[in-house]
């Protein structure tokens, strides 16, 4: 099994005719993802490698039955693109765009609240269920099907962690890049809840980073009785307070936002915390062996 996306997911790409949108659409199709439509206002009636392009999301959904939107729209217009997908009642929206103004995302979050629509991102690498669907920009060749779920606030670190797992013969059920902005849709806690409910996900690798309290929220959930092992790494241990490091959300404001506080909370909750990203793969294998999972 998997969470969020699988071989039945029908993807439409908003911004399909842009440079990044067209490039990543082709990579998704090559991976085997069912890309059924594209949306670029004013380009309706055209095609990209056989994928029909529509002027609006609602028109694309009506004609193709798309149930997932992948967004590559530039930052000034990306919040409106998310809302357009939401107005068309697409249940899963994945927004790759970075640099969306925080106030725009506050407006989006307010609209999506209690709507039943799930947003991944923005400023994220997307979602991949190995061997089934790639909805985002993740390099598909480092993934392999298996039973370890992966949640990450970091894009590049998740590729490194998954490459380690794959090299050790440990496959992944689904990998979710939640994004590094301060205002995002699906949080690490939301993703952890989904993996907790998936019977075929036997363990979870969680890659956090400085800033915010997402890691403490995950720790609280683990501490309440999550019966699956969690292997955690928190990036940014040497980051100076008050300075943004990479992601807009990766800024330490108060002691709770430090890597040390996050690692402490996760360890106290029962997660196995690693101090170096180079240890993620080997530590995961050890934990799986100790639990009798492999």
Q: Which residues are catalytic?
A: 247
d(CA 216, CA 225): 15
Burial of 110 (0-12, 13-18, 19+ CB in 10 A): exposed
Closest alpha carbon to 54 in 66, 65, 43: 43
Whether residue 123 contacts residue 86, with contact meaning beta carbons closer than 8 Å, is answered with: no
């Amino acid at each position: 099994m998997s969470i969020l996306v699988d071989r039945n997911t029908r993807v439409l790409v908003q911004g399909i005719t842009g440079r990044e949108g067209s490039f990543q659409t082709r990579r998704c199709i090559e991976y085997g993802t069912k890309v059924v439509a594209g949306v670029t206002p004013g380009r309706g009636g055209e095609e990209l490698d056989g994928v029909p392009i529509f002027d609006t999301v609602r028109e694309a959904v009506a004609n193709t039955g798309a149930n997932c939107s992948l967004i590559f729209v530039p930052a000034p217009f990306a919040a409106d693109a998310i809302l357009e997908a939401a107005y068309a009642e697409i249940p899963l929206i994945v927004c790759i765009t970075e640099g969306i103004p925080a106030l725009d995302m506050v407006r989006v979050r307010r609209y999506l609240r209690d709507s039943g629509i799930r947003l991944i991102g923005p400023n994220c690498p997307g979602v991949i269920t190995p061997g089934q669907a790639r909805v985002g920009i993740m390099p598909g060749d480092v993934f392999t099907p298996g039973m370890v779920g992966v949640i990450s606030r970091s894009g590049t670190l998740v590729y490194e962690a998954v490459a380690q797992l794959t090299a050790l013969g440990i496959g992944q059920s689904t990998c979710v890049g939640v994004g590094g902005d301060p205002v995002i849709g699906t949080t690490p806690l939301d993703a952890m809840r989904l993996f907790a409910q998936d019977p075929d996900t036997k363990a979870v690798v969680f890659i956090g980073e400085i800033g915010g309290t997402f890691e403490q929220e995950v720790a609280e959930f683990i501490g309440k009785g999550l019966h699956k092992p969690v292997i955690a790494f928190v990036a940014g241990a040497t980051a100076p307070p008050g300075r943004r490091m990479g992601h807009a959300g990766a800024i330490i404001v108060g002691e709770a936002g430090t890597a040390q506080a996050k690692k402490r909370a996760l360890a106290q909750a029962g997660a196995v915390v690693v101090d170096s990203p180079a240890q993620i793969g080997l530590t995961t294998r050890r934990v799986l062996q100790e639990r009798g999972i492999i």
